[in-house]
Structure 1
Amino acid sequence: MSLTDIAARIREGLAGKGFDGSMKFDCGEDGVIVLADGTATTDDRDTDCTIRLSRDTLVKLLSGQLNPMTGVMMGKLKVSGDMGVALGLGRLLAR
């Protein structure tokens, strides 16, 4: 699944929901997904919080196959910036 496809699925999940702040999923050479202004795009920009992870880990995280806290403890997710934004968006994206 490409990051463009993942961003489209996130946009669908965010429809009608709002959140404060901005967050970036940085998948290295695969690119980025930025959650900001009520939508998700693959256009890179500065954000309040950045989560560095592989594309495969992102898919597992968003599908519920990987618990965010477990991912951090295993070193699969590296969070920088405003943790409050990460926690808020995590609850918003939860199924």
Structure 2
Amino acid sequence: MTFDQLEAKMRASLSQFTGLGAKVKFDFGADGALFLDATKVPTVSRDPVDVNTTLKISLADFVKLSEGKLSPTLAFTFGKLKVQGDMGVALKLAGMLDD
């Protein structure tokens, strides 16, 4: 999956982030970054915003995570997912991705 395809997939499933109440940066390294603003009606953008939490993960691993092929807990434990900022937001987001 390309970065553009992932962005489109996130846009199509924004409703799953309703209730998160935070702003999150998904940092895919050289592949780019997406910014989720779920403080009100969830939106996703490439435009930088101040965030509560930054998730650093490769694009390939995030695709696996979003498809249920990689557990957020295992990704974090094995260093494939790094969290900066509010860990509570990251845990809440992990629960939303597991659903």
Q: Which range, TM-score by smaller chain?
A: 0.7 to 0.9
Query: 1:5 Cα shift?
Result: 1.7
Q: Which runs of 5+ in 1 are unaligned?
A: none
Write out aligned runs for 1:83-94 (5 A): 83-94=87-98
TM-score by length of 1: 0.86
Per-residue displacement from partner, 1:12-42 (whole Å, max 9, x unpaired)? 2223734201111101111001111402222
- Is residue 2:75 matched to residue 1:77? no
Q: Which amino acid aligns with 1:15?
A: S
| SS of residue matched to 2:13 | helix
TM-score by length of 2: 0.83
| d(CA) in 1 for partners of 2:83, 2:59 | 15
Q: Which runs of 5+ in 2 are unaligned?
A: none
RMSD after superposition: 1.7
| d(CA) in 2 for partners of 1:6, 1:41 | 12
Q: Kindly, what percent of the aligned residue pairs are identical? A: 39
Q: Which amino acid aligns with 1:20?
A: G
Query: 1:45 Cα shift?
Result: 2.7
